[in-house]
Amino acid sequence: MKVLITGATGLIGQAITDLCSEKGISVNYLTTDRTKIKNEVNYRGFYWQPKNNEIDVKCFEGVTAIINLAGTNIARRWTKPNKEIILSSRTDSLKTLYNALKNLNYQERISFISASAIGIYPNSLSDFYTEEETNVDASFLGDVSAIWESETDKFQELNCNVAKIRIGLVLSAEGGALPNMANAVKKFMGASFGSGEQWQSWIHVNDIARMFLFALENNLSGVYNGVAPNPVTNKKMVKELAKVLKKPLFLPDIPQFALRLILGEMSYLLLASQRVSSKKIEKEGFIFQFNNICSALENIYSEEVKKDNTDDVLSGEYV
Ligand SMILES: NC(=O)c1ccc[n+]([C@@H]2O[C@H](COP(=O)([O-])OP(=O)(O)OC[C@H]3O[C@@H](n4cnc5c(N)ncnc54)[C@H](OP(=O)(O)O)[C@@H]3O)[C@@H](O)[C@H]2O)c1
């Protein structure tokens, strides 16, 4: 099997390509950065520039599935120009793929699996969201996710088998939000955001990578939530992180108004609450490696903590 991946050089994309390599699945990938192009036997990079509808169509050769992850980081100030880039990087990528596939007149039925985000669900402390929810959050994130999904649906017109994975907060030491949270805890500056009562529907990076390949291998179509079975509140997440990192938490919660002052509208990323169900993908037979926040964080940080303790002993800190 050969899969084409966009955004393959990012956090989730790298985890997926590692898994593909373990499973003997060949990867072609599209990158907007020529310096990231590699030409290995089972890992070949191709250049594209979606904002100009530019794509090297050789990337489609032998491909039976596409995984779409492309999009600029949303954790940048939500100014008007940045909002435009966040949205257009996603829609332009989909449109560029769509136009290229249409022109190629592909005969084979392609599996098309695209990233979406749980930010599509309305902000709520009490609701528990399944994929059947039709209301969309009245926020920039809700708008982006809804437009992203409707652009993805257009691939059905090309006879593709379309699946969308609404990704939660991806936990990894390599990127995303977790390293910043962990750094704050390590410097004794860890604290919950706002009331800390907001739900965080998280997923370990290995599980989200496995879920994309599960969707591919099982020909899934429709919407699936990319979250672990046990969401936690922000307060619980920070507490568990401190426990795993063996650091105390001193500081009071950071009030909403302070976050708004520092981050502007983007503070919504830290304050919005979505408690999201993983039942649908589990019913398809997907088994999570990391069900609970403690096991996920321990997997990510325990080696690092052990190493830090050893370094401390060696440097005489505990003597
Ligand atoms: N990580 C999370 O917690 C999370 C949660 C919900 C949803 N998601 C979504 O899942 C997708 C993958 O997430 P990630 O954490 O792996 O993101 P990431 O690490 O930021 O990687 C995204 C990739 O998209 C490509 N890209 C950036 N700007 C682009 C543009 N203007 N046009 C086309 N491609 C562009 C980049 O690849 P090149 O430099 O090679 O072009 C980059 O490596 C993203 O769309 C993200 O919004 C992530």
Q: Does residue 296 sit within a domain? A: no
Q: Does residue 95 sit within a domain? A: yes
Q: Does residue 307 sit within a domain? A: no
Q: Which of 5, 69, 276 to mutate to test the pocket of ligand 1 (most atoms within 8 A of CB)?
A: 69
Nearest-CA residue for ligand 1 atom 13 is: 12
Dist CA 244 CA 315 (whole Å)? 22
Residue type, 272: A
CA proximity to 165, closest of 286, 293, 27: 286
Q: Does residue 233 sit within a domain? A: no
Q: DSSP secondary structure string, 108-121?
A: SPPEEEEEEEGGGS
pLDDT on residue 40:
96
Question: Is the C-beta atom of 93 inside 6 A of ligand 1?
Answer: yes
pLDDT tens figures, 81-119: 999 999 999 999 999 999 999 999 877 899 999 999 999
Question: Is the C-beta atom of 208 inside 6 A of ligand 1?
Answer: no
The pLDDT tens digits along the chain (319 residues) read: 999 999 999 999 999 999 999 999 999 999 999 999 999 999 999 999 999 999 999 999 999 999 999 999 999 999 999 999 999 999 999 999 999 999 998 778 999 999 999 999 999 999 999 999 999 999 999 999 999 999 999 999 999 999 999 999 999 999 999 999 999 999 988 999 999 999 999 999 999 999 999 999 999 999 999 999 999 999 999 999 999 999 999 888 898 888 888 899 989 999 999 999 999 999 999 999 999 999 999 999 986 766 665 555 445 544 3
Q: Does residue 240 sit within a domain? A: no
Nearest-CA residue for ligand 1 atom 21 is: 10
Pairing of strands 128-129, 43-49: unpaired
Quote the tokens at residue 182.
């962990």
CA proximity to 141, closest of 268, 274, 256: 268
Question: Is the C-beta atom of 238 inside 6 A of ligand 1?
Answer: no
pLDDT on residue 184:
93
Q: Look up the CATH number of the domain holding residue 120.
A: 3.40.50.720
Distance of CA 309 to the CA centre of its chain: 31
Answer yes or no: are the C-beta atoms of 111 and 160 closer than 8 Å: yes
Determine the Cα angle at 144 with ends 142 and 147, to 5°. Answer: 105
pLDDT on residue 318:
42
Dist CA 153 CA 276 (whole Å)? 22
Dist. CA 266 → ligand 1 center (Å)? 17
Q: Does residue 241 sit within a domain? A: no
Domain count, the chain: 1
Q: Does residue 292 sit within a domain? A: no
Dist CA 160 CA 175 (whole Å)? 31
pLDDT on residue 311:
59
pLDDT on residue 312:
55
pLDDT on residue 289:
98
Residue type, 304: E
Residue 189 CB neighbour total at 10 angstroms: 13
Give first-to-last CA distance, the chain, whole Å.
Answer: 56
Question: Is the C-beta atom of 33 inside 6 A of ligand 1?
Answer: yes
Dist CA 93 CA 226 (whole Å)? 21
By CB atoms closer than 10 A (0-12, 13-18, 19+), residue 165 is buried
Residue 183 has phi, psi (to 5 degrees) of -60, -40
Q: Where are the alpha helices (DSSP H) in 45-204?
A: 80-104, 140-153, 178-186
Q: What is the chain's mean pLDDT, rounded?
A: 94
Q: Does residue 180 sit within a domain? A: no
Domain hosting residue 6, numbered range: 2-171+203-227+277-284
